[in-house]
Amino acid sequence: MSHPAASPDFWHERWLHNQIGFHEGQPNAHLLRHWPDLGLDPSARVLVPLCGKAHDLAWLAARGHPVTGVELSPLACAGFFAERGLRPEVRPQGPYMAWSAGGVTILQGDFMKLEGTWDACWDRAALIALPPELRPRYGQVLRGCLAPQAPVLLITFVYDQGKRDGPPFSVGDPEVQALYPGATMLHREGLHEDPRWKEVGLVEEVAWRATVG
């Protein structure tokens, strides 16, 4: 049986009822720490899968990157621009509705239908949002949308999945290496002081740099 998180309805319900504990109220600390080390030209096109209304999109755009997020929920798309006082242009683009303003375009729709080419990817909450049955397909689509040698900055969680159901799901190091052969671990830390994980025990947050192609 598929996990509920495999259904679009699961995520639409989360946004409808504001159950978005995965949303950070500021740019992600790993993004701030590791993105400059990728050495990307400001013109590099950045893909942010399953982006929600993350502050990360604006942070990347402020550094000159043309940023494309992909997000299922129209509430998330509208929220991102409204919180910045922006009035986006909204237009059909293939299987998506494209919301654009302030150097950011969010494609509203199913990530698995994505086509195009980007120069880099920031994945804070995409891979870990997907149940195991969807992660191989996600990796395949992502690899098909990134230019050769495009870097991926990835965040994963590692914990005892028997103590808590995802999302966010536990994605172990072997699975990361299977999806992205040669991926390099950049940082690993335990979340001992985070009350959201108190009942789980040992939880590790891991930052990775991977290369596609």
Q: From CA 137, how far away is CA 158, in angstroms rounded?
A: 21
Distance separating alpha carbons of residues 42 and 61, to the nearest angstrom:
9
What percent of the chain lies above the pLDDT cut of 70?
97
Q: Is the pLDDT of residue 37 over 80?
A: yes
pLDDT digits (tens, 9 = 90+) for 178-191: 999 999 999 999 87
CA distance 211 to 148: 8
Alpha-carbon distance 52 to 68, whole Å? 12
Q: Which of 47, 97, 59 is nearest to 77 (CA)?
A: 97
C-alpha–C-alpha distance, residues 146 and 69, integer Å: 14
pTM score of the predicted model:
0.95
CA distances from 113 to 78, 107, 138, 142 (A): 21, 11, 10, 10
DSSP string over 68-80? EEEES-HHHHHHH
- CATH for 4-13+28-212 is 3.40.50.150
pLDDT in tens, 13-33: 888 887 766 767 789 999 999
Give the chain's mean pLDDT.
93
What's the pLDDT score for residue 197?
78
Residue carrying the six token digits 């303003």: 101
At 108 the pLDDT is 98
Q: Give tens-digit pLDDT for 126-162.
A: 999 999 999 999 999 999 999 999 999 999 999 999 8
> Average of pLDDT values for 189-198?
78
Query: For the chain, which residues make up each domain, given as ranges?
Result: 4-13+28-212
Q: In what order do the strands lie in the sheet with 96-101?
A: 89-93, 96-101, 104-108, 67-71, 46-48, 120-123, 150-158, 204-212, 184-190
Residue 63's nearest CA partner among 99, 25, 29, 104 is: 104
With bands split at pLDDT 50, 70 and 90, how would you rate the model's confidence at 166? Answer: confident
